[in-house]
């Protein structure tokens, strides 16, 4: 049984998502708790700025974690009452869970349609799940399939054309509503991960005058800055000085708490004066306290959720490409479920056919002695008739098994067939 329990930018506010996010540092603890709670279940945690999801797989559906049990895991792990987020979480099972992951990995479920970062995040989530021994045959097949589908959508549709990164949409839409030009601006990047790199790459095409990278790891700051012209690393201890100097601040740290509160930024504004400053907070949890945006009229603070309206407009303008991509996702979901069906039911189907045809052969052998008066052609007709009878008798249970397997719930019928006909895998 495959299932996913999740919230995303469509179902939950950033305030909820940031409370339920899993940092890389705490994933080991999360996977240990999942193993203790749900022995034998496979699991993959996907946690990004736009979504928090847990995929689980269990060959025995009776032992699979329930929706409520997974929500209780979230609540206890993050020390938050279930009532605070129960209405924000959805559940998908069987083919719907597969279709959901395929859509997510293909960026059809992203805030910025076609953005390339999500497939890297899915790959990293899958890698970390393997590192923590949380994967198994079903999740391996599921995530490898999702990566394959993403590649197909990217190559067969125009979904990835135009502005497709959060950075490009945010700077292009919001930044350009504040500044007419960027070639005379200083940009401060707080953080040195993939999102920071992607933002820098876009800003460099805008011809920014100066780029400063600040990160808690000086080595990572140096490595990131070295990839770009006019970029240099600076010590984290000098963060306030550079916030006062910068015209554009982009923060992507992934810290568990805001790193800049309102009082700290008021002190920064005393150094900078009232010049306009554009702050793009791409952290989840947020890096800047929302109150920072209320300090004065020239502080323009945008977080992930502020992109919603712009991204909805982007989505509506590209409906044809969405439709093409969805057809690929549906096709690949059907293909995946067929593969899972054969994997789950193949041994039982094979054994049942062998058993029934073996019985028919034994009966035909006994019958031949009593039908010595028949010629070879008549005997062959008898054998074919018996074979057709066996196949017709097998068809209803095997068709029911095929249908249940496609829906992701074949185990009850499999167990019944095993018991009824004393079958072994």
Known catalytic residues are 49
- 52 forms beta bridges with 7, 47
Residues 133 and 338 sit within 8 Å (Cβ to Cβ): no
Burial 364-386 (b: 16+ CB within 10 A, else e): eeeeeeeeeeeeeeeeeeeeeeb
Query: Which tokens in the block code for residue 290?
Result: 């929302």
248/179 Cα distance (integer angstroms): 10
| DSSP E strands, 146-287 | 186-190, 210-214, 231-234, 248-251, 277-281
Helix spans in 246-375 (H): 262-272, 308-316, 319-370
How far apart, in whole angstroms, are the C-alpha atoms of residue 388 and residue 5? 46
Which residues face 45 on adjacent strands? 54
**Tokens 């034998």 sit on residue:** 40
- Residue 182 near residue 208, CB atoms below 8 Å: yes
Question: What are the structure tokens assigned to 233, written together?
Answer: 């690393």
Closest CA to 360 of 378, 381, 386, 399: 386
């Amino acid at each position: 049984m495959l299932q996913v329990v999740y919230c995303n930018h469509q179902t939950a506010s950033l305030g909820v998502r940031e409370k339920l996010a899993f940092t890389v540092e705490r994933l080991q603890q999360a996977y240990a708790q999942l193993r203790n709670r749900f022995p034998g279940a496979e699991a993959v945690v996907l946690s990004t700025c736009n979504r928090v999801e847990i995929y689980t797989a269990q060959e025995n559906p009776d032992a699979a974690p329930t929706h409520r049990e997974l929500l209780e895991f979230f609540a206890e792990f993050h020390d938050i009452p279930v009532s605070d987020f129960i209405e924000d979480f959805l559940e998908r099972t069987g083919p719907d869970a597969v279709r959901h992951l395929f859509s997510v990995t293909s960026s059809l479920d992203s805030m910025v349609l076609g953005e390339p970062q999500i497939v890297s995040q899915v790959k990293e989530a899958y890698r970390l799940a393997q590192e923590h021994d949380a994967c198994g045959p079903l999740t391996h097949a599921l995530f490898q399939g999702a990566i394959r589908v993403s590649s197909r959508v990217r190559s067969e549709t125009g979904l990835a054309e135009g502005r497709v990164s959060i950075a490009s949409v945010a700077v292009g839409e919001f930044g350009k509503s504040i500044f007419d030009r960027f070639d005379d601006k200083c940009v401060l990047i707080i953080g040195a991960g993939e999102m920071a790199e992607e933002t820098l790459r876009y800003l460099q095409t805008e011809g920014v005058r100066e780029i400063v990278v600040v990160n808690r790891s000086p080595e990572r700051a140096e490595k990131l800055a070295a990839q770009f012209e006019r970029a240099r690393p600076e010590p984290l201890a000098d963060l306030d000085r550079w916030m006062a100097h910068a015209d554009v601040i982009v923060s992507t740290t992934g810290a568990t708490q805001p790193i800049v509160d309102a009082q700290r930024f008021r002190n920064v504004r005393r150094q900078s004066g009232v010049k306009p400053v554009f702050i793009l907070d791409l952290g989840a949890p947020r890096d800047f306290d929302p109150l920072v945006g209320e300090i004065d009229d020239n502080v323009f603070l945008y977080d992930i959720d502020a992109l919603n309206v712009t991204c909805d407009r982007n989505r509506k303008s590209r409906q044809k490409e969405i439709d093409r991509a969805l057809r690929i996702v549906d096709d690949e979901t059907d293909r995946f479920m067929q593969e899972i069906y054969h994997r789950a039911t193949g041994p039982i189907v094979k054994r049942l056919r062998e058993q029934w045809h073996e019985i028919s052969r034994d009966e035909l052998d006994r019958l031949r002695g009593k039908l010595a008066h028949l010629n070879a052609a008549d005997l062959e007709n008898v054998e074919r008739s018996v074979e057709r009878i066996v196949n017709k008798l097998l068809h209803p249970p095997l068709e029911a098994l095929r249908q249940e397997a496609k829906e992701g719930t074949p185990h009850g019928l499999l167990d019944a067939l095993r018991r009824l006909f004393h079958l072994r895998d």
